[in-house]
Amino acid sequence: MEAIGVLLMCPVSNYLEQELDRRFNLFRYWNQPRPREFLAQNSDSIRAVVGNASAGADAELIDALPKLEIVSSFSVGLDKIDLNRCREKGIRVTNTPDVLTDDVADLAIGLMLAVLRRICMCDKHVRSGGWKFGDFKLTTRFSGKRVGIIGLGRIGLAVAKRAEAFDCPISYYSRSKKPDTNYQYYSTVVNLASNCDILVVACALTPETTHVINREVMNALGPKGVLINIARGPHVDEAELVSALVEGRLGGAGLDVFEKEPHVPEELFGLENVVLLPHVGSGTVETRTAMADLVLGNLEAYFANKPLLTQVV
Ligand code: NAP
C-alpha cells in the first residue's frame, strides 16, 4: 500500500522528523525553493499537515491541498491554523495540550525571578569579572508579590499554583469568572493590571487578545510592575512596550515570545530590567518528546480510524 503523504511545515524535533519519515511519505515544506509549484505537484498525495507555533495551516495552504484530512499541530496554540476553514472542509485538527503545561509555567516563574532578582545581570557581573570591583546592587523581592494572570487555562492555572507557593496573592482576567477557584477575578485587563505587581499573559492568541497588552494596560501596571509573556508575541503591542520600558513607565518585562519572531526590537537589548528568551516555553527534551508522540499518536489514530487523542476540530 502506498505510504500516506504528510507535509511537515518547518523543522521541529529530530525525533518527530525521523518518526514521520519512517511511518509516512514525508514532504518537507521549508526545503521547497518554489512552494506554490511544489504544492501543485504534490497536492494529490498530501493527506496530513504537521505544523507548529511558527508555521501552521492557513486558508491558502488548506485550499491548495484538496486531499487534506488532518492538521496535527506540534503546539497547543492554534493561532497559525485557520480553524474555520478546517471546519468548513471537514478537516480534523489536533494539538499538544497538557504535556507542555508544567514546562511553560516553570519558565514563567523563572522569568519572574530572573527579572526581579536580575539573575542574568548577576551572572554577567560574575562572568565579566565585575564582582572583583564591587558587589551587585540590591534587587527586588519576588515572594509575596501580587500576580495577575490573563487566561486561567491550563498554563495560567499552573502558573497560579506555582506562584501561590511563593505566597503571591493571585488574581486573573478571562472571558468568564471561574466558579472553581478562589482567586480574585477582574472583568477587565486594565483593572487586573492596576491591582497586581506582575502581570502574566497566558491566554490563547485570537483577534480579541491581539494587543491585549496596550499602552493603557502598561500604564496601569506602572513603573514598578513587571510584564511576563509566555503566550504569544502579538498579545503585546511591542512598540508600546519598548517606549514604556525606555521611558520608565513599566518596571520590567520577561518575554519568551515576540511579535515578529525571531526578530526582537534591539532597543530591548540594553535594558537590564528585561529578560529575553527565544520562545523556549516547552523546549525541554522531555516535553518535546511527549509533544512529538502526541502528534504521531493523533496521525496514527486518524489513519487507523480510531478516536483522536487530542482533537480540537
Ligand atoms: P488553554 O487551557 O486553552 O487556555 C487558554 C486560555 O485563554 C483560557 O483560559 C481562556 O479563558 C483564555 N482566553 C481565550 N480567549 C480569551 C480572551 N478573548 N480573553 C481572555 N482570555 C481568553 O491553553 P493553555 O494550554 O493554557 O495555553 C495557553 C497559550 O499559551 C496557548 O494558546 C499558546 O499560545 C501559549 N503557549 C506558549 C508556549 C511557549 O512556548 N511560550 C507554549 C505553550 C503554549 P476563557 O475561555 O475563560 O476566556
User: Where in the chain are the domains?
Assistant: 5-98+286-303, 101-276
Backbone angles phi, psi at 122, to 5 degrees: -65, -45
CATH topology match: 5-98+286-303 vs 101-276: yes
With CA atoms as reference, report the closest residue to 222 among 260, 259, 253, 201: 253
Kindly list the catalytic residues: 232, 261, 279
- Write out residues with Cβ below 6 Å of ligand 1: 76-77, 97, 100-101, 104, 150-156, 174-176, 202-206, 208-209, 230-232, 256-257, 279, 281-282
Q: What is the pLDDT of residues 185-206, one digit of tens each?
A: 999 999 999 999 999 999 999 9
For 213-272, write each residue's pLDDT tens digit: 999 999 999 999 999 999 999 999 999 999 999 999 999 999 999 999 999 999 999 999
Nearest protein CA to atom 34 of ligand 1, as residue: 77
pLDDT cut 70: percent of the chain above it: 100
pLDDT score of 1 more than 80: no
Instruction: Report the amino acid identity of residue 292.
Output: A
Q: Average pLDDT, whole number, for the chain?
A: 97
Q: For 138-171, how does the pLDDT look when each residue is reduced to its tens digit (9 = 90+)?
A: 999 999 999 999 999 999 999 999 999 999 999 9
How much is the pLDDT for 90? 98
CATH code, residues 101-276: 3.40.50.720
Position 6 pLDDT exceeds 90: yes
Pocket test for ligand 1, best of 111, 174, 192, 255 (most atoms within 8 A of CB): 174
pTM assigned to the model: 0.97
Q: What pLDDT, on a 0 to 100 scale, did the predictor assign at position 91?
A: 98
Tens-digit pLDDT profile for residues 66-98: 999 999 999 999 999 999 999 999 999 999 999
Mean pLDDT for the stretch of residues 2-30: 96
Q: Report the Cα–Cα distance between both ends of the chain, in Å, rounded.
A: 28
**Closest by alpha carbon to 186, among 164, 170, 205?**
170
What is the residue whose three cell numbers read 499518536? 297
- Which of 70, 74, 68, 66 is closest to 10 using CA atoms? 74
The closest alpha carbon to 69, from 138, 123, 4, belongs to 4
Query: Residue 290, Cα to own-chain centre: how many angstroms?
Result: 17
Residue 57's pLDDT is what? 98
pLDDT for position 2: 80
What does the pLDDT read at residue 187? Answer: 97
Task: Please tell me the distance between residue 26's alpha carbon and the centre of ligand 1 in angstroms.
Answer: 31
CATH superfamily of 5-98+286-303: NAD(P)-binding Rossmann-like Domain (3.40.50.720)
Encode pLDDT of 286-299 as tens digits: 999 999 999 999 99
Distance (angstroms) between ligand 1 centre and the Cα of 151 equals: 6
